[in-house]
Amino acid sequence: MKKIANLLFVSILGGAVTLGSYKLFIEEEAEQFLPQETQNSFIPVTKTPAYGTNADFTEAAEKTVHAVVHVKNVAVFKGGPRSIWEYGQYNNGGRALQGAGSGVIITPDGYIVTNNHVIDGASEIEVTLNNNKTYKAEVIGSDPISDIALIKVDADEDLEYIPFGNSNNLELGEWVLAVGNPFNLKSTVTAGIISAKARDLNVRDNSPQSFIQTDAAINPGNSGGALVNINGELIGINTAISSPSGSYIGYAFAVPSNNARKIVEDIMEYGDVQKGILGIRGGSITQEAIRELKLQESQGVFVSEVTPGSGAEESGIRQNDIIKKIDNIEINKFSDLTGYINSKRPGDEVKVKLVRDGKERELSVKLTKLDVLAIPVLGLEVANATSEELKTYKAPNGVRINRTLSEELPSSDLVGGIIAEINNQKVSSIRDVEEIMQSRTKSNPIVITYFNQRGEKQRMIWR
């Protein structure tokens, strides 16, 4: 009996010690994860540390830093910086000056993607690797509209490169690294998150862009560098900062990797960029549109017009439809649509989910080749001219004025006419027009030389 009593006493004492230890050490430690003001709250609060506090970027940095290069461009510039797209040092005297940016090696045999504005107008391009080896680079091709360029070096060995990732899979808040050469400081890595997707900066004269926005620090010299995910995959090409001072203030933008990869592949295979279009005109749904058109949807792209002969028309898309998804990609605004379509080529088929009269429909649309171009700053839309049209107006070259976008312009005199020159530069295709409008100094007037419907040669100036 005495033995049993002793065992019972020991058991009780052991239980008390265990309970006391739990209360003193374990429970008290768990409570430390709760903010003081929420301990008695009826709102559920996690008792575990926040995810990502121990995120490790070393592997991604090691994978990518050797594949990001320093790009030097020697060119002749006149005037000062014109926009957030510019870089380097400028001199009003028009002397040869050296600008610097970054580039990303994408193949072991030396193909490098960078920004068009980094190599634009270069008389000589020099590329320096992370191991200090230097090579002369050749420009393979570029697309001023997207600000992507492809250059190549002939190295004496296989180079380290960064594989492309899928930018469609990015999530808001996802960790990313920006790798580049800001202020000529080689091999700089900064960390941040995805702040926004499909961001349209509205700083250029052509169609909306679709950028990745990040708070990873990007400064002059980072242009053309890599934006990579935690696995070291290329998910963007760093392109611009939004800053009144020209230095980083918390906002930076990158061309999505899917768009950059498609442009690079086009340049390598076709020599230029193959642009497919859905064949609609429209815009993001706004509060004004909801009120005026009595829309039931608050997000998506409202179709205001369908281009005759386009894939959209042939598939059955109609005016007043609201596009909600393309290939399971959510379309909440117009830059979502343009960003995804810009990663496709003419002839590709996409699944378009739309709402019509309150009912959902899904249509298969074959993308057609871009053959018209809107120039908002001129208030004109142009198209490639046929040889018959050029002969009719006795124009040696040019593009046809398809329609006017402004009521202030004399449409009866302009529409159907042929634009032969812009700022004294000959144009033979809408591609020429794109490049001239992209590279112009925005503060300077625009002069077009055109043949009107009567075949008379005219000049107009936009200031």
The one-letter amino acid at 213: Q
Give the 3-state secondary structure of 193-224.
EEEEEEECCCCCCCCCCCEEEECCCCCCCCCC
Same fold, 276-369 and 372-462: yes
In the prediction, which pLDDT does 16 show?
A: 53
Helices (H), 397-441: 411-414, 430-439
443: Cα separation from own chain's centroid: 25
Beta bridge partners, 459, equal 449
pLDDT reported for residue 235: 96
- Eight-state DSSP code of residue 60: H
Q: Is 105 within 8 Å of 162 (Cβ atoms)?
A: yes
Please pick, among 102, 195, 210, 223, the residue that the annotation labels catalytic.
Answer: 223
Which of 70, 143, 146, 147 does the annotation list as catalytic? Answer: 147
Residue spans of the domains in the chain: they are 2-38, 56-273, 276-369, 372-462
67: which DSSP letter?
A: G
Regions of the chain short of the pLDDT cut 50: 1-5, 7-8, 10, 17, 19, 22-42, 45-53, 78-97, 203-207
pLDDT tens figures, 77-110: 544 444 444 443 333 333 444 578 999 999 999 9
Pick the CATH number of 56-273 from 3.40.50.2300, 2.40.10.120, 3.40.50.720, 3.40.50.1100: 2.40.10.120
Q: Can you name the CATH fold of 372-462?
A: Pdz3 Domain (2.30.42)
Residue ranges in 223-297 assigned as alpha helix (H): 257-270, 287-293
Reply yes or no on whether 223 is catalytic. Answer: yes
Please give the pLDDT value at position 99: 72
pLDDT of residue 170: 94
Q: Is 205 a catalytic residue?
A: no
pLDDT digits (tens, 9 = 90+) for 288-331: 888 888 888 899 999 988 987 889 999 999 999 999 999 999 99
Q: Let me know: does 383 contact 371? Beta carbons within 8 Å.
A: yes
Predicted pLDDT of residue 354: 96
Instruction: Using alpha carbons, select from 188, 117, 105 the residue that is nearest to residue 151.
Output: 105
* CA 249 to the chain's CA centroid: 19
How is residue 130 annotated by DSSP?
T
**Predicted pLDDT at 152:** 97
Determine the topology of domain 276-369 in CATH.
Answer: Pdz3 Domain (2.30.42)
**Catalytic residue, candidates 117, 195, 284, 335:** 117
Q: Which tokens go with 130? A: 């992370």
Task: Decide if 56 is catalytic.
Answer: no
d(CA 23, CA 351): 59
